[in-house]
Amino acid sequence: MSTDFIKIDRKKCIKCGFCITDCPTCVLEMGEDGPQIREDQCIECGHCVSVCPTEALNNARTPRADQELIDPEKLPTPEEAACFLRTRRSIRGFEKERVPHETIEKLLDIARFAPTAGNAQGVQFHVIDNPSRLKEITAATMAWAENRQTLAPHLASMVAFHRATGWDNVLRNAPCLILALMDESTRPMFRQNGRFMLTYAELYAPMLGLGSCWAGLFEVAAMDGDPQLLDLLKLPQGKIVTGAIVAGIPRYRHKRIPQRHPLQVSWVD
């Protein structure tokens, strides 16, 4: 067991125990002289360093020098945060122009900060923005869906509409498809990590002038392992799709916030 990756400045430590309470895997315990390592199960989340009120603790695996200070003045008010979250809308109409790679990288650089199970992270993003390949992906997805029209109540109608008009109701003519990939050996409980990160991407996209939408039908076809579709995706060896969104410059802006079903909460005494 390693015992030297956490350093405590005993002169600064006030034995508040915050680092112990906030550790996801119970690495620390309180000793006579302050926090000490109980067992080396560190997942390198950095919380022990981040939460210390006196900067008494440092962790060589997630050093304080690499952690940016949080400025409370930059945080939105509850009202601003609620407005931001309620006004996010899925976009299904995009300009034809490609999104610069630098903009997509800015988007995904924020997405990687989403919470992940066990701080495993382990997500690789796979971006496709070639118009011809995107059209082929739509066609392959629809070919897959044609034999599975009972999967969803509206799927048969979507397939029929696409066949009759050629309308892209899979990727919505978006100029960019973003996939979250993970190792195929990743256990199912960790595969949601990719979706967590794509959720962050969807939330941040409007800040970069982008619209986005979940590519649900494509996502299911890719996860099902459709051979024609996987051949088009050119995934890195050993990777599987765990989530997908489309992104681009919106052709329009929403002016209102649609309602949702009333809140339902159960309380247990």
Tens of pLDDT, residue by residue over 137-158, are: 999 999 999 888 788 888 888 8
Domain span at residue 57 reads 6-66
DSSP 184-228: TTS-GGGTHHHHHHHHHHHHHGGGGT-EEEE-HHHHHHHHTT-HH
Is the pLDDT at 1 greater than 70? The verdict is no
Instruction: Name the residue among 135, 131, 133 with its Cα closest to residue 96.
Output: 131
Assigned domain for 107 exists: yes
Report the predicted TM-score, pTM, of the whole model to 2 decimal places: 0.93
Residues 31 and 154 in one domain: no
The percentage of the chain sitting over the pLDDT mark of 70, rounded to a whole number, equals 99
Residues 37 and 115 in one domain: no
Residues 126 and 237 in one domain: yes
Residues 122 and 36 in one domain: no
Q: Are 167 and 161 in contact (CB under 8 A)?
A: yes
Tokens of 5: 């990756």
At CA 205, angle to CA 84 and CA 184, rounded to 5?
120
Q: What is the pLDDT of residue 149?
A: 79
Task: List Cα–Cα distances, 227 to 10, 223, 234, in angstroms.
Answer: 59, 11, 11
Residues 102 and 220 in one domain: yes
Q: Are 142 and 162 in contact (CB under 8 A)?
A: yes
Residues 226 and 107 in one domain: yes
Residues 85 and 215 in one domain: yes
Q: How many domains does the chain have?
A: 2
